[in-house]
Amino acid sequence: MSKPNYRDIARHAGVGTATVERVLNGRGGVRPELVEKVVVAARTLNYPRTLPDAHRGLLRIEVLMVRPETTFYRRLSKAFERIAATLDPLVIVHRSFTEEMKPDEIARRILSTDLPRAGLILAVPNSPLISAAVDAVVARGVPVVHVVTRASESKGEFVGIDNYSAGRTAAHFMARMARAEGPVIALCHPIYQVHRDRIRGFSDYFHEHPGPIAFEWLGFSRDEERYSAESLSFALEMYPHLVGLYNAGGANSALIQVLRRHRRGRDVLFIGHELTDYTSTALREGIMDVVLDQAPEAQAQRALDLILRRIGLTAIEPDRAPIRFITITAEAL
């Protein structure tokens, strides 16, 4: 076969040969999205020359997350790192973290134009300021994908589990597995829509299935150890015959410590999210009973697949169904 020429690259990229010539010879004056198409086409056709250095790194995908101290977000970040290592060197996946409780800082990071982006992946909470920033970025033509939770209800694609179903699943296990009759409680972080969705599913299940095991109280833990421990300690005093605890958010380690120390700790059916070293240990000890894991590795892969599809690096349409959450008990470890 003859080596590819400008006409072949132009046909593959859907542009004119003059555009190909300007891009490959670094003449400038070509819109970034057309530059990307030409470079990708040239690489796909194995054009026999080194592409201009100026065009390398044009496909920069930025991933913005919160709470690097948590196991879940470390798993998510590591998943993006591993997947990025398998991509074409033309694609750069840049991961960074911001402070969860500073919506103005998150909005500023979303709106930043310091470096060109081919796509933006967000794992940050929602607020009017953050949502407006997402809307502005989408209006610029930048593909946005939300992971784990939505930073905007109207703009960008969402990758995550069906959180309402996760809450109903937790309630189903609670109603079937509780060791005695009595009240159950739940904890969540109120700033995350996905946590509210889980609690809504949990509450709806008990409303639809009334019986001797009932959802009595909701505490706001902020996913912080001190607030989580205080909330559970308060509930154990308020409900001396507590039979179940559902943690829709994080800070499981603090809850595990409270239950380990409490005289009735092992009588309380404990269902939470995310498989970690300490939730695995708690499952083995009988402190926790069920873990619903969000599979952050699958979420990272789906998010990058969506961005790569949007920018034309793959013709494969990613699955749009919710990510399957994984139900884990001590017997599965």
Residue 70 near residue 100 (C-beta atoms within 8 A): no
C-alpha–C-alpha distance, residues 113 and 86, integer Å: 27
Residue 19 near residue 10 (C-beta atoms within 8 A): yes
C-alpha–C-alpha distance, residues 224 and 79, integer Å: 24
How many CB atoms lie under 10 A from the CB of residue 96? Answer: 11
Closest CA to 258 of 234, 239, 223: 234
* pTM, 2 dp: 0.81
Report pLDDT for 55: 46
What is the dihedral sign for C-alpha 12, 13, 14, 15? negative
Q: What is the pLDDT along the chain (333 residues), one digit of tens a residue?
A: 578 899 999 999 899 999 988 888 766 667 767 877 887 788 778 887 655 544 454 688 999 999 999 999 999 999 999 999 888 767 889 999 999 999 999 999 999 988 788 899 999 999 999 999 999 999 998 999 999 999 998 999 999 999 999 999 999 999 999 999 999 999 999 889 999 999 999 999 999 999 999 999 999 998 999 999 999 999 999 999 999 999 999 999 999 999 999 999 999 999 999 999 999 999 999 999 999 999 999 999 999 999 998 887 788 889 999 999 999 999 999
Range 261-267, long-range pairs (CB < 8 A, 24+ positions): 262/236, 264/236, 264/240, 267/179, 267/180, 267/243
C-alpha–C-alpha distance, residues 261 and 257, integer Å: 6
Closest CA to 260 of 240, 238, 242, 286: 286
**CB within 8 Å of 254: residues ≥ 6 apart:** 225, 226, 228, 229, 232
Residue 124 near residue 151 (C-beta atoms within 8 A): yes
Report pLDDT for 4: 86
C-alpha–C-alpha distance, residues 14 and 8, integer Å: 10
C-alpha–C-alpha distance, residues 133 and 221, integer Å: 27
Report pLDDT for 54: 45
Report pLDDT for 260: 97
Report pLDDT for 313: 79
Residue 251 near residue 225 (C-beta atoms within 8 A): yes
Q: What amino acid is encoded at 9 in this protein?
A: I
Residue 220 near residue 186 (C-beta atoms within 8 A): no
Report pLDDT for 1: 55
Report pLDDT for 53: 47
